[in-house]
Structure 1
Amino acid sequence: MILEALALALAALPAGMAAANLSRQPRATAAPAPGTLVSILIPARDEAENIGACLDAALGSAGVAVEVLVMDDGSRDATPAIVAARAGADSRLRLLEAPPLPPGWTGKVHACARLAEAARGTHLLFIDADVRLAPAAAAAMAGHAAAKGIALVTGVPRQVIRTLGEGLTVPAINLMMMGYLPGGGRAATSHPGMAAACGQLILVERGAYEAVGGHGAFRSKLHDGLHLARNLRTAGHRTEVVDGAPLAECRMYGGFREAWGGFAKNAREGMATPVGLPVWTLLLAGGHLMPWLLLPGPLAAAALILTYITRAAITWRGREPSWTIPLHPATVLTALAIQWTALVRSALGRPAGWKGRAYPATDGA
């Protein structure tokens, strides 16, 4: 009965947190201030399959003036040719070529830094090449920033999930942000440790960005969104996570292998630390997996019911497919396996690799 009570308590923690976060999650709906120019900045490396649709959506932005800059970061496919062809037909689009990656920089962070230097906008909207912006997204995010006095506005786009491998991995993003982050990244939680950001969709006010050193302030990091949000909060600026599902959609990965590699890459700067991961294992395994081992105990059954209600609420708010909900225990188990694998690889000094580049192991700081 003691273990059942513990499992129920650990299931109640994310349930209560999610209820508070989902009920208070802001939505970006305000109109931008006059004179606003949003620079939509897209780092691209080997994105021939994605870049055309990404540009169509970005150039279709309405309600605010935009420019679109693509930084080709050493692509080995037709990415630059596709962008160049489209730039010839729309003066709002510019193709830039990233200089060689300097020592000590990670690829995306370097590309974003160079994009910001070339941008002319009052606001910088960083998106990944697999993101499809809604027509009103740029205007709504810039309007929210101006209306609320917020330096950085971010959100998790609606995640397009089509395969079992994606269903086992991608839903963990919203689960962790809504179920385990006090305040859910809202501006009211001003402490840097409570900051959050999704690197797929980040709008930042230019003056604040430059004041904290932009991407150059964390040039060796991989989790660009999180570090930018933390740096801004440390300097006294406000950052906020809004409901991202109405603003954009994104298919992050094409299957399990790609998803595993992508999440493992960023794990070293998140949960996968020697101190943090045992605690996260207790929280996640205790609340989401242990109840299965304690059935048919009544408290264990209550814990499972609470867990699935929590997961369903988060899934439906994020507009993710409902068929992923029954996979929830396997999703949690997969997330922990990714984190522990990343921690072991880091301890052994094995580099993280992504798109043909390798980055040295870090301590997760």
Structure 2
Amino acid sequence: MSTLGIIALLTLLYWLYITFDVHKGIHLLHTLPKSTKLPDKPPLVSVIIAAKEEESTILETVRHLLSQNYPRLEIIAVNDRSQDATGVRLEELRKWSKHKTDIQTPLQIIHITSLPEGWLGKNHALYQGYQQARGQYLLFTDADIIFAPGTISDAVTYMKENDVQHLTLTPNMVARSTLLRGFVHFFLFSFSLFVRPWRANLDSAREPGIGIGAFNMVSRSAYEAIGTHKSIALRPDDDLQLGISLKRAGFRQKVLSGKHILQVEWYRSLKEAIIGLEKNLFSGFRYSYTIALLACLGQLIFFIFPWLGLFFLWDWRGAAYAVAVILQIWLYRKLMFRLMSKRGDEAFLLPISASLLLYTIVRSVWLTWKQGGINWRGTFYSLRELKKK
């Protein structure tokens, strides 16, 4: 059998295995249920937001949080060294909310002007928010998330009723163009196949864990037990690492779909998405060139080659690749619907999206190597420092 034939056969076996594995486990991934009744003594929830140059989105996010129907809530917005009008907008919103009799939620603003050594800006900002928080539960979220009014009520009720220490939710991801939507959704698709987020819902397993920046709600005791954000001070993928640390420590974790109550426009353009992801993709491979190389080969062999084989091979190898493509499309549409109620109509863009992600991974590794580190939110961190942490 030729080398190409062996690759075609392995690719088909890979997609058959992945299809079986997803079909077996995806039933564990549910949608967050709507609460019918709050606990008798609702715990105080502290919402902590880190914002840097977020003047275009922060107001809408905080306004939606102020409109939550949960009775015991405090919001702590941390302005992380912003050079735009983020801080001004937050102060205006705080003054406005104080004079609204129908808004009982305290809004606290923290302005950070300098960054100590050994911290990434966002991680430091979230930690500063935690130090001011009084809540029994901490909700770490991003500055561009839109919350439905009952989001926090539903989350707290679920956590209390199911004895969950960490709840993370997948949001509905909005994209302005078809190509951007295809790329963003493909990133979520390939990430899901790699991490298998539904496995985090198995109480018997310590690995893998997961955390999503749009919604990471954790009990204060669990957060403190893993060392807070101090333990992940230099991780660009802090949201994911928070979930991994909590799961590894044995705390009960659940990942659910929040497609009906959370919405985010992750990036506004394809160029912005590539630039945004190339900053932190290499960190997801632990800054290992070997792991990054294997990831690139995986994208090439399992996601791109099947489409090339489908069009250019007219023998059994082409037939094997054709089956792999069908399985790839089916899984993509199934996961998009499960996670975000999307039909996955952009599945025809899968080879293009996979090629763009491959390009982004290569650029992430190359830029980190060329610079000797990463530039993150206006600060440079050496690769030696990042690997040490």
TM score, norm. by length of structure 2? 0.86
> What's 1:4 paired with?
8
Per-residue CA deviation, residues 20-47 of structure 1 (Å, 9 max, x unaligned), is 3432203322555323122111111111
CA apart distance, 1:200: 2.2
The offset of 1:164, in angstroms, is 4.7
Match of 2:81 in 1: 74
| Pairing of 1:331-346 with structure 2 (within 5 A) | 331-346=353-368
How many percent of aligned residue pairs carry the same amino acid?
A: 23
Distance verdict in 2 for CA 1:190–1:45, change over 3 Å? farther
Q: Distance in 2 between matches of 1:4 and 1:67?
A: 55
CA contact (8 A) 1:44 1:128 kept: yes
Structure with greater contact order relative to length (CA < 8 Å, sep ≥ 6): 1
Would you say the 8 A contact 1:152–1:238 is kept in 2? Answer: yes
Deviations 1:289-347 (A, max 9, x none): 11123224222111111111111112222234744322111111221221122223333
Q: How far apart, in 2, do the equivalents of 1:81 and 1:348 lie?
A: 37
Q: Which residue of 1 aligns with 2:102?
A: none
Instruction: Look up the match of 2:66.
Output: 59
Question: Is 1:347 matched up with 2:347?
Answer: no
Paired residue for 1:304?
325
* 2:84 alignment partner AA: D
Give the distance between the partners of 2:205 and 2:290, measured in 1 at CA: 20
> Structure 1 residue 357: deviation in Å?
3.0
SS in 1 for 2:154: helix
2: CA distance between counterparts of 1:126 and 1:95? Answer: 15
Q: For residues 262-308 of structure 1, what are the alpha-carbon distances to aligned partners after superposition, in whole Å with 9 as ceiling and x for unaligned?
A: 21122122136323223333433322211123224222111111111
Q: CA deviation at 1:228?
A: 1.3
Are residues 1:288 and 2:303 paired? yes
Partner of 1:158: 172
Q: Distance in 2 between matches of 1:54 and 1:15?
A: 37
Distance in 2 separating the partners of 1:60 and 1:321: 30
Residue 268 of structure 1 aligns to a residue whose secondary structure is helix
Alignment of 1:145-294 (within 5 A): 145-164=159-178, 166-182=180-196, 184-188=198-202, 191-271=205-285, 273-294=288-309
Identify if the C-alpha distance between structure 1 residues 151 and 15 changes in structure 2 by more than 3 Å, giving closer, same or farther: same
Contact 2:333 2:343 in 1 (8 A): no
Q: Does 1:325 align with 2:347?
A: yes
How far did residue 199 of structure 1 move? 1.6
Aligned equivalents of 2:332 and 2:298: distance in 1?
15
Q: How many residue pairs align between the two structures?
A: 365
Per-residue deviation, 1:219: 1.0
Q: Aligned partners of 1:269 and 1:106: how far apart in 2?
A: 13
Aligned to 1:315: 336
Alignment-mate amino acid for residue 25 of structure 1: L
Task: Specify the code of the residue in structure 1 equivalent to 2:304.
Answer: L
Q: What code does the residue aligned with 1:112 have?
A: L
The alpha-carbon deviation at position 128 of structure 1 amounts to: 0.7
Specify the SS of the correspondent of 1:4: helix
Q: Distance in 2 between matches of 1:319 and 1:183?
A: 17
Q: Which amino acid aligns with 2:23?
A: A
Residues 341 and 211 (structure 1), Cα distance of their counterparts in 2 relative to 1, 3 Å cut: same
Larger deviation, residues 132-141 vs 58-67 = 58-67
2-structure distance, mates of 1:64, 1:268? 41
Opposite residue 292 of structure 1, the aligned amino acid is: W
Work out whether residues 211 and 244 of structure 2, in 8 Å CA contact, stay in contact via their aligned partners in 1: no
Question: What amino acid is aligned across from residue 54 of structure 1 in structure 2?
Answer: T
How far apart in 2 are the matches of 1:348 and 1:311?
35
Q: Which amino acid aligns with 1:78?
A: A
In the aligned structure 2, how far is the partner of 1:12 from the partner of 1:19? Answer: 11
Matched AA of 2:379: R
Once the two structures are overlaid, the 10-residue window that deviates more, 208-217 or 58-67, is: 58-67
Aligned to 1:240, what secondary structure does the other structure show? Answer: strand
- In structure 2, do the counterparts of structure 1 residues 176 and 146 end up closer, same or farther at CA, with 3 Å as the change threshold? farther
Report the counterpart of residue 125 of structure 2 in structure 1.
111
Q: Structure 2 counterpart of 1:329, which letter?
A: P
Partner of 2:103: none
Matching residue within 38, 51, 69 for 2:45: 38
Distance 1:320 1:359, change over 3 A: farther
Q: CA deviation at 1:191?
A: 4.8
Cα pair distance change 1:192/1:106, threshold 3 Å:
farther
Aligned to 2:164, the other structure's residue is in SS state coil
Q: Which is helix-richer, 1 or 2?
A: 2
Alignment correspondent of 1:20: 24
Query: How many Å apart are 1:99 and its aligned residue?
Result: 4.7
Kept in 2, the 8 Å contact 1:40–1:127? The answer is: yes
Please state whether the residue corresponding to 2:278 is helix, strand or coil.
Answer: helix
In 1, distance between residues paired with 2:267 and 2:196? 28
Gaps of 5+ in 2: 99-105
CA contact (8 A) 1:18 1:314 kept: no
